[in-house]
Structure 1
């Protein structure tokens, strides 16, 4: 690309077009750009061409066009989960030849206009590598604040990289001023620890797991909905996903809790996995959570060689935070205005166990 003038007033921010694929590929495949993103410098043009023609609900793609040349792109993805539709995520890249020419600022301004004035998003988040000081300065200029640091989040250019989670909050605090009190727990089940069996998930567990997923107290501490129908649980159980490992806790023939470990399929984050778990409230306080955690930690350490496990937990779930601390998880930061549910908009800690 020829050298660019310092100021580029002719830059047009417009929607992405499939014909932009080859120029988009030229940017994303540049090793200097790939290092700052999640791509590999070995990615092929066909991947970008497929991405260019694939529509995804909630995704908005803009590019910076200078006299027919693509100088950069930004993607805003609105979260379509019912309890998180107030939030979205940004991802941006700029061609190295256009660094320092104000292209990034024009792209961010256009994305914020879309988020604030068209999508009415209250929370906009992004991830940026901790050594990318120029990008951090740009995001802070537009009101993004650091919420925490994820250690060993991504591998690239021969080393593990830490990344900041940053977010910009917009508008008034959403949700009622006085949220409703949580539901009362059901009567506690009578059982002993040696009656608990930790095993892989089975299709026969659908009805039991559905009773867990739709319980208001489980929904409150996860991202589930108490209105969900059994078909959602059936699809979840019957669908096999590469890298997803699922265990359940069985008591007297009944599945009363589950835990999942989802290993990343991105080569640069193959060392990492996300964790999610739930236990039916009738079985709280009896050590089932610890038994599930011990089993999944053994799987991660001794069979999958995973060195980073991440999770998110509501700030107002102290029992969950204590459990995760017990197994070596540390709070890396706190996502503000993270998820609405049970009459309140909850902040969430993001935690990780790194070895």
Structure 2
């Protein structure tokens, strides 16, 4: 039986991870879960999956949760609670499904504790890819991708050598506004932006999909996961989200991974790798799909993706600033403080004010992240 802990258990990936676990209770035991503010859902998860350790965002929420869960469950809160669930249990694997850069320190702690990582928190590699990959290598820890695109690339590379890769292509649905011009985006609402055509995801990642910032974060994550130069990474709009990504090799053969858009498939593959099990998702029937469509990426239409590539190529602290500024800008949009197109303006202004630091240490990354957030708040 594989023991797992989940950081971000009440979010989209976290709840779907527990759904996968529920379909194979004989294979998995939940050692720890960390949620944020959704105490009602977290209490339900504790009662159902009986983890040994649980964490919430604040002490007040921990006190509230304590009245709703069985006796004997150890209860923690705040950043220290995340570290406890990440590194302080008997889990074999930690699924990092937190939103944003808050996943960095718990992921590093889990790696140092020798835990296998199911990585759904792309911001961890974006903010500190050099640190995460170095420590994973030092401690002999596997980084198993959960994002559908990186899982697809990972699967396509089974049995292949990284030296034989010509390029990889990450596919993008295009998000909520893929068929709108920039002029048509000036006054779009939050509700409109949250209507993703293919995937069921949290608010932040759904907005990121609409701006294409999410694909930019995935580009940087792919650079670190697979050790590829940015010139070897391309993005293609694929509205159906059937081909999740593909690899082109030096002989120009292409291997792609296809399936219906259901996050439970890449989640389960990370949990069971290298084995495959049946899943509750539906089967892909290409005869019913009929046609698949593709469009070249337009970096003028999606400047957030262009800025992500530029930040990745600049290296050092630049991706951390891109990520932090984007997180703040998205939250400002969700709160009605700025308009949709101003998200990219906030990111650009914050990047313009930053002097890149090469190979920053963890303390520097934390300080640069803090500076970028403060800057983006007023940019």
TM-score in terms of structure 1 length: 0.28
Q: Larger relative CO (CA 8 A, sep 6+): 1 or 2?
A: 2
Look at both structures and tell me which one has the larger radius of gyration over its CA atoms.
1
Structure number having the greater strand percentage? 1
